[in-house]
């Protein structure tokens, strides 16, 4: 046997799980088909944040006069350099993961892995084929599958990387689209809508559900929609696509009501599907749940000794959740007495401007569950720090359980929302109440004071509204 653990996939679940196992003194190998960091680091979370920062700066420069400054002439940009910086950031971070593997004594193999294990309980065997077709066989006590997910395609429409894109192709483009239709208004769709619009593209975003960011609180989604419309983005909700065709000029779509839309490009962001292609050798079968790996309370699949973590085991499809699941799976496997737990509370973040972040249940969910609750809400426009920084758009909204005052949900839209949400995640973990938050002194002036004020608002005693 070569290894205590063979990890297949080098994304946020795979590389974190591999490093944690190594920290526990185990001999580990991590197999990645492309490059360490997986989709998140190379084609998702990290490169998109680099692009969004460029968009944010571009928009800020557009109204520097508000800050008493001036710029002579038009703010110019080099779109190819913007995209190039994004790739440079990803390359740097991927190199960082490779360094971590080396320093933690994790073996790293690049290639396509296929599990060819014998019966349950036997030594696990994985065959790895590199880009040149050369094969090597690795054996181990256990396998952690962390192969993630890939973009779901629109049926009947070929992703050609030119007129029809997924987020991956969008991250590789060197030319700014003059016009683009974005199908799907989840986090990916909204982030790209903000990015392309910031640099002057004509953007139309389509969502079949009643609101953009369908998993978020309705008030948050409504404010983001209004903000998008104000910046020139066309937002269509409750809208279904009836027909899509690729033309010589671009893409033509027929939507609800027979209306026709045309654009140079189409970005498909309608969700993801499990990446299981070629993973299992002949005679091997793993139980699935809606197309994703089915795992038990120890993250073990239907084959003993084979585990799963991250996007491959289903929603929520978030990098930080994937990392947490991988650590739980590895510690459950190698730490005596450790009982892994499934993720219940987790933050969700969307990095357009204004930013959106949330944790726990929405107001709608609280009503559907017939919970006794109250709402504490505080607007950015009443925050001295937000107004001084020129970021008065947004609010903090807390869903508070009664009669004890525990945090059931937290929803933030506005500047640095994705940073502010961490305090509320900790509050939920510690089962803190609004009384404990409101009696905790928050520094002034900070955006974090709004959490303090929202807690006071829930008790009917806000100071600044």
Mean pLDDT for the chain? 96
Residue 119 has pLDDT above 60, yes or no: no
Phi-psi category of residue 450: left, alpha or beta, with phi > 0 → left and psi -120 to 50 → alpha: alpha
pLDDT band at 118 (very low <50, low <70, confident <90, very high): low
Give the pLDDT mean for 397-424.
Answer: 97
Structure tokens at 447: 């955006």
Query: In terms of CATH architecture, what is 354-458?
Result: 2-Layer Sandwich (3.30)
Q: Going by DSSP bridges, is the β-strand pair 135-145/3-8 parallel, antiparallel, or unpaired?
A: parallel
Taking only the tens place, the pLDDT of each residue in 242-253 is 999 999 999 999
Could you write out the DSSP letters of every residue in 49-61? HHHHHHHHHHHHH
Q: Is 92 strand, coil or helix?
A: helix
CB 253 within 8 A of CB 181: yes
Whether omega for the bond prior to residue 335 falls within 30 degrees of 0, making it cis, is no
CB 165 within 8 A of CB 184: no
* Cα Rg of the chain, angstroms: 24
pLDDT band at 117 (very low <50, low <70, confident <90, very high): low
What pLDDT, on the 0 to 100 scale, is given for residue 283? 85
List b or e across 61-90, with b for residues whose CB sees 16 or more CB atoms inside 10 angstroms: eeeeeeeeeeeeeeeebebeebbebbeebb
What pLDDT, on the 0 to 100 scale, is given for residue 289? 95
Question: Residue 5 forms beta bridges with which residues?
Answer: 28, 142
Taking only the tens place, the pLDDT of each residue in 83-100 is 999 999 999 999 999 999
Nearest to 324 by CA among 17, 57, 7, 4: 17
CB 147 within 8 A of CB 326: no
Active site residues: 444
Count the alpha carbons within 13 Å of 262 in the hemisphere toward its beta carbon.
4
d(Cα 151, Cα 271) in Å, to the nearest integer? Answer: 6
d(Cα 189, Cα 167) in Å, to the nearest integer? Answer: 9
Identical fold between 3-150+273-334 and 354-458: no
CATH classification code of 153-270: 3.50.50.60
What pLDDT, on the 0 to 100 scale, is given for residue 121? 61
Give residue 151's Cα distance to chain centre: 13
> For residue 178, what are the CA distances in angstroms to 82, 83, 163, 276, 311?
16, 16, 12, 36, 33
Structure tokens at 368: 């559907």
pLDDT band at 122 (very low <50, low <70, confident <90, very high): confident
Residue 382 has pLDDT above 90, yes or no: yes
> For residue 36, what are the CA distances in angstroms to 33, 42, 89, 220, 462?
9, 8, 14, 35, 48
Place of tokens 């920290």: 23
Taking only the tens place, the pLDDT of each residue in 249-290 is 999 999 999 999 999 999 999 999 999 999 999 889 999 999
What pLDDT, on the 0 to 100 scale, is given for residue 282? 85
pLDDT band at 120 (very low <50, low <70, confident <90, very high): low
Q: Going by DSSP bridges, is the β-strand pair 135-145/124-129 parallel, antiparallel, or unpaired?
A: antiparallel
List b or e across 370-398, with b for residues whose CB sees 16 or more CB atoms inside 10 angstroms: eeebbbbbbbbebbebbeeeebebbbbbb
What pLDDT, on the 0 to 100 scale, is given for residue 331? 98
d(Cα 300, Cα 340) in Å, to the nearest integer? Answer: 11
**Regarding the domain delimited by 3-150+273-334, which CATH topology (the fold level of the hierarchy) does it fall under?**
FAD/NAD(P)-binding domain (3.50.50)
Q: Where are the domains of the chain?
A: 3-150+273-334, 153-270, 354-458
Taking only the tens place, the pLDDT of each residue in 154-203 is 999 999 999 999 999 999 999 999 999 999 999 999 999 999 999 999 99
């Amino acid at each position: 046997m070569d290894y205590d653990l063979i990890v297949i996939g080098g994304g946020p679940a795979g590389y974190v799980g591999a490093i944690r196992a190594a920290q526990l003194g185990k001999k580990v190998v991590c197999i990645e088909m492309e490059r360490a960091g997986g989709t998140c680091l190379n084609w998702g979370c990290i490169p998109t944040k680099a692009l969004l920062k460029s968009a944010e700066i571009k928009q800020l420069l557009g109204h520097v006069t508000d800050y008493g400054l001036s710029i002579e002439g038009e703010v110019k940009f080099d779109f190819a350099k913007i995209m190039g910086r994004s790739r440079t950031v990803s390359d740097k971070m991927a190199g960082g993961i490779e360094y971590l593997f080396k320093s933690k004594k994790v073996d790293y193999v690049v290639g396509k892995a296929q599990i060819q294990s014998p019966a349950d309980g036997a030594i696990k065997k994985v065959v790895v084929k590199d880009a040149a077709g050369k094969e090597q066989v690795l054996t181990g006590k256990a396998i952690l599958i962390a192969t993630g997910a890939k973009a779901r395609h629109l049926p009947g429409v070929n992703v050609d990387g030119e007129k029809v894109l997924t987020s991956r192709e969008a991250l590789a483009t060197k030319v700014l689209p003059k016009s683009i239709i974005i199908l799907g208004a989840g986090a990916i769709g909204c982030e790209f809508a903000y990015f392309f619009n910031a640099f002057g593209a004509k953007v139309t975003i389509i969502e079949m559900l009643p609101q953009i960011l369908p998993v978020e609180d309705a008030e948050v989604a409504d404010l983001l929609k209004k903000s998008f419309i104000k910046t020139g983005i066309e937002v269509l909700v409750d809208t279904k696509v009836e027909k899509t065709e690729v033309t010589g000029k671009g893409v033509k779509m027929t939507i609800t009501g027979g209306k026709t839309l045309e654009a140079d490009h189409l970005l498909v962001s309608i969700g993801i599907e499990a990446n299981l292609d070629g993973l299992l050798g002949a005679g091997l079968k793993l139980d699935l749940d809606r197309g994703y790996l089915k795992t038990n309370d120890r993250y073990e699949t239907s084959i003993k000794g084979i585990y799963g973590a991250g996007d491959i085991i289903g929603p929520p499809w978030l990098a930080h959740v994937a990392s947490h699941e991988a650590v739980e799976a590895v510690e459950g496997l190698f730490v005596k007495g450790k009982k892994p737990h499934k993720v219940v509370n987790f933050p969700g973040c969307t990095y357009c401007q204004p930013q959106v972040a949330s944790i726990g249940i929405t107001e709608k969910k609280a009503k559907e569950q017939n919970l006794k609750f109250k709402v504490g809400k505080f607007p950015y426009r009443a925050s001295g720090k937000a107004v001084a920084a020129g970021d008065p758009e947004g609010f903090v909204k807390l869903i508070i359980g009664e009669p004890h005052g525990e945090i059931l949900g937290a929803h933030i839209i506005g500047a640095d929302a994705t940073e502010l949400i961490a305090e509320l995640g900790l509050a939920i973990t510690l089962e803190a109440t609004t009384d404990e938050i409101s009696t905790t002194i928050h520094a002034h002036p900070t955006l974090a004071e709004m959490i303090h004020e929202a807690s006071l608002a829930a008790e009917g005693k806000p100071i600044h509204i």
